[in-house]
A = this chain, B = another copy of it.
Amino acid sequence: MFAVTILGNNSALPAFDRHPTSQVITLDEHLMLVDCGEGTQMQMTKYKIRRSKINHIFISHLHGDHYFGLIGLITSMGLLGRVQDIHLYAPAPLRELIDMQLRVADTVLPFTLHFHALQQEGTLVREQKFEVSCFRVFHRIECWGFTFREIRPPKKINPKKTLEHGVPSSFFERLKWGEDYTNRDGQIIKNEWVTEPAVKAKSYAYSADTVYDERIAEKVKDVDLLYHEATYLKDLEDRAAKRFHCTTSQAASIARLAGAGKLIIGHFSSKYETLEEFDREVKAIFPNSELAIEGVTYRI
């Protein structure tokens, strides 16, 4: 399972029961949190996200609607007796802020919080089955997007063929990665005789808060699912530009330029009570689009 669950889809001002930005990425048994606006921990309870499963947290930038809920979440994890480490990736000043907040409360977390300051584009996490990297986006202050990519062996075992050719199951992992097998008699069993191409590894990109900039399309090229902000409807392109945000049609254009499989838009301005028009506008340009709706899980 590779999916993203929306916990908050609104921009700065919470409104109409929409919350500031937060998303949970599920990658098999791993949960990863992307941004953490105020109230994220309550949204996790509401949508039954298991906090204890979160080992990686990524914060795109230090506008409050993307991180004011983080210190509460971390503190609660401590109160719940968490002992596993957490890795936090964020702009550098967040470290001192968290340290200060713990210090004034005379609180020592019962787990280790590893702080990784975002400094350059590239890989942040490489685990057996996925990797996460960051890329710069273009906002009023330093801001980062994140790409989540499955790592999958390129080949799938054909059980019938491996049996026929006498390849032992202990060699299957190496077969999946494309190796040939040499049996006891010195015979080479070609990889392609006993495998098939596996399902393509999937990818998701979260491009955070950004002004319209076509360089982003390069950075998220060919992702299966792209989350792009669309704070405003298309008639407010000037306002969007002034505030380093995007409109529906700009988000859709980036998705098209990037060749994304699918687009989700979010970070809706609190000036809009309803969202139907966002849906219409984005689909007019990029039909395979959806609105980020709180509590909904989008499979990748």
Chain A residues near B (Cβ < 8 Å): 12-15, 19, 38-39, 41-42, 45, 62-64, 68-69, 71-72, 75-76, 79-80, 91, 93-94, 96-97, 100-101, 104-107, 140-141
In-complex Cβ contact of A39 among B13, B38, B64, B105 (8 A): B38
Q: Are B104 and A97 in contact (CB under 8 A)?
A: yes
Nearest to A80 among chain B residues (CB) is B13
Q: Are B12 and A75 in contact (CB under 8 A)?
A: yes
Q: Are A68 and B72 in contact (CB under 8 A)?
A: yes
Closest 5 CB pairs of A and B: A62-B104, A38-B72, A93-B104, A68-B72, A39-B39
CA distance A79 to B20 in the complex (A): 14
Q: How many copies does the complex hold?
A: 2
> Which residues of B lie under 8 Å from residue A76 when comparing CB positions?
12-14
In-complex Cβ contact of A105 among B79, B104, B141 (8 A): B141
Nearest to A68 among chain B residues (CB) is B72
- Distance from A112 Cβ to chain B, minimum over Cβ atoms (Å): 19
Q: Are B141 and A45 in contact (CB under 8 A)?
A: no
Nearest to A20 among chain B residues (CB) is B72
CA distance A243 to B12 in the complex (A): 36
Known contacts A39-B39, A45-B15; A93 and B97 CB within 8 A of each other: no
Nearest to A76 among chain B residues (CB) is B13
> Which residues of B lie under 8 Å from residue A14 when comparing CB positions?
41-42, 45, 76
Extra contacts, 5 of them, besides A12-B76, A62-B105, A68-B75 (Cβ < 8 A), are A12-B75, A19-B42, A39-B39, A97-B97, A106-B140
CA distance A12 to B78 in the complex (A): 11
- Distance from A274 Cβ to chain B, minimum over Cβ atoms (Å): 17
CA distance A104 to B68 in the complex (A): 12
Q: Are A96 and B100 in contact (CB under 8 A)?
A: yes
> Which residues of B lie under 8 Å from residue A104 when comparing CB positions?
62, 91, 93-94, 97, 141
Q: Are B64 and A75 in contact (CB under 8 A)?
A: yes
Q: Are B75 and A105 in contact (CB under 8 A)?
A: no
> Which residues of B lie under 8 Å from residue A71 when comparing CB positions?
64, 68
CA distance A106 to B93 in the complex (A): 12
CA distance A80 to B270 in the complex (A): 11
> Which residues of B lie under 8 Å from residue A106 when comparing CB positions?
140-141
> Which residues of B lie under 8 Å from residue A72 when comparing CB positions?
38, 64, 68
